[in-house]
Structure 1
Amino acid sequence: MLLQPPPKLVGEKRLSFRNLDWHAFKQIQSLLTERTRARFTYDNGVLEITMPLEGHERSARLIELFIRVLVVEIGMKIKTMGSTTLDREDLLKSAEPDNGYYIQNYSLVSDREINLNVDPAPDLVVEVDITHTDLNKNLLYASLGVPEFWRFNGRVWQILQLVNGTYVECDRSPTFPIVEKNDLYQFLEVALLDEVAAEVNFRQWVREQI
């Protein structure tokens, strides 16, 4: 089952710049962060500035709720990074995902701020890209070493697992193997009408699986 978005759904406004060095990128990011709610993704000279709209933000927050329910009901630990900037100047890459989480590596980073020069990347990163992006985000997050990457475009959920430096699409989440893609689709379908009912029903379902 695939979710059918409203006609002409636009989830983000995007603006791209090319041939920017790292210093120029950081200057633009610093200037606009103070004045806007924009997100910044930089990949080897290309800067994409994204302004999330309602469709984007609602999907991102509902997927975050989906993950939170799983973590709590299964009894896992989690450090939520939200859209914390993931900078790797040595790779000329920087990203501000919709959601980032430490789960498997929670104990390594639970009590301090993250420094990606010494710490592992988040175990799970989520990106909602409803409007087309010119950046190859699979390659970007693979380069950052993110083990599991979820992408949602308003209809299709991709679960990507890092294998030998490249993402391989999976039917189930390596972090949450009890759920299939269809479970997220069903959750979102209910949540778009009644978020509380979706959470209550999903919690009960997870408890029954474990």
Structure 2
Amino acid sequence: MLLELKRIHVPPGQRVLLKDVTWQELEIILEELGEHRAARIAYDKGILEIMAPLPEHEYDKEIISDLVKALLEELDINFISLGSTTFKNQFMAQGIEPDQCFYIKNESRIRGKRRLDLTVDPPPDLALEIDVTSRTHPNIYQALKVPELWRFEKGKLQINILQDGVYLESQKSLNFPNFTLSDVITQYLEQSLVIGRNATIKAFRAWIRQQTI
């Protein structure tokens, strides 16, 4: 398995599927791949997907993540962002690496922890997926009970809220109920392509303050 894995080259925007991967093999593969890598994985009951994101995928991820962080900071809400941390649950035989994720309401429960185990620790409060290459796996997030999943696809932000074990699209965020963010986040992302990141974040912070007066 490891010899084959080392021979695999995944071009940006492409993916590789490996079937009949056991949980033990998954653990070995994750260790072999290492933490500092561009590729993302998704594991669903024996099927392992390895995907390499496109450059535009990374840009959108970084700007949207920065906007979320700015919002949390302006609202003076403690949070922990864990990027593409591997979240997995052996009992469910599922695992995923989001493009970005945030602990917000459950921040205090994982504060100071270096390793997370979803059999005992809560899942992220918010996960972000940039769907340029259509790699989002809502069923895995549902199984791991992530309360809120944001999917950015084809220039639109979709907010999904977990209700009775299933994601339903919503105009409101669980974590930011006083804001209508789908269009706003998209507008500021587009603005960053014209005026740059710093000016965009500054303008977004000013917008937040206007909303909270």
Gaps of 5+ in 2: 1-10
Whether contact under 8 Å (2:157, 2:183) holds in the other structure is no
Q: CA deviation at 1:95?
A: 0.9
Conservation of the 8 A alpha-carbon contact between 2:158 and 2:169: yes
Q: What is the SS of the residue equivalent to 2:200?
A: helix
- State the partner residue of 2:5: none
Over 3 Å counting, the alpha-carbon distance change for 1:156 and 1:45 in structure 2 is same
Instruction: Compute the displacement of 1:72 (Å).
Output: 0.4
Match of 2:168 in 1: 168
Q: Deviations over 1:110-149 (max 9, x none)?
A: 122322121110100111121133x6x1111010010001
What one-letter code is carried by the residue in structure 1 that aligns with 2:182?
A: K
Aligned to 2:68: 67
Higher RCO (C-alpha 8 Å, min separation 6): 1
Who is 1:138 aligned against?
A: 138
How much has 1:36 moved relative to structure 2? 4.6
Offset from partner CA, 1:36-74 (integer Å, 9 cap, x none): 532111011111101122111101101110101100001
- Whether contact under 8 Å (1:39, 1:96) holds in the other structure is yes
On the 8 A contact 2:41/2:49 being kept in 1, the answer is yes
Q: TM-score, normalised by structure 1?
A: 0.88
Aligned to 1:207: 209
Q: How many residues align?
A: 199
Listed one character per residue, the Cα deviations across residues 134-183 of structure 1 (whole Å, up to 9, x for unaligned) are x6x11110100100011112422110101111111001212112133110
Q: Is the 8 A contact 1:17 1:46 kept in 2?
A: yes
- The Cα of 1:81 is off from its aligned counterpart by 1.2
Mapped partners of 1:62, 1:199: distance in 2: 9
Q: For residues 88 and 74 of structure 2, what CA distance do their matches in structure 1 show?
A: 32
Gaps of 5+ in 1: 1-9
Cα RMSD after superposing both structures: 1.8
The SS at the match of 1:69 is: helix
Does the 8 A contact of 1:15 with 1:49 survive in 2?
yes
Q: Output the amino acid matched with 1:23.
A: Q
Name the CA distance, whole Å, in 2 between partners of 1:62 and 1:206: 16
Q: TM-score, normalised by structure 2?
A: 0.87
2:7 aligned residue: none
Aligned residue type for 2:108: S
Shift >4 Å, 4+ stretches: none
CA distance, structure 1, for counterparts of residue 47 and residue 71 of structure 2: 36
Provide the rounded CA distance (Å) in 1 between the counterparts of 2:150 and 2:63. Answer: 13
1:190–1:197: 8 Å Cα contact kept in structure 2?
no
* Distance (Å, rounded) in 1 between the aligned partners of 2:181 and 2:24: 42
Q: Match of 1:77, as an amino acid?
A: N
Partner residue, 1:152: 152
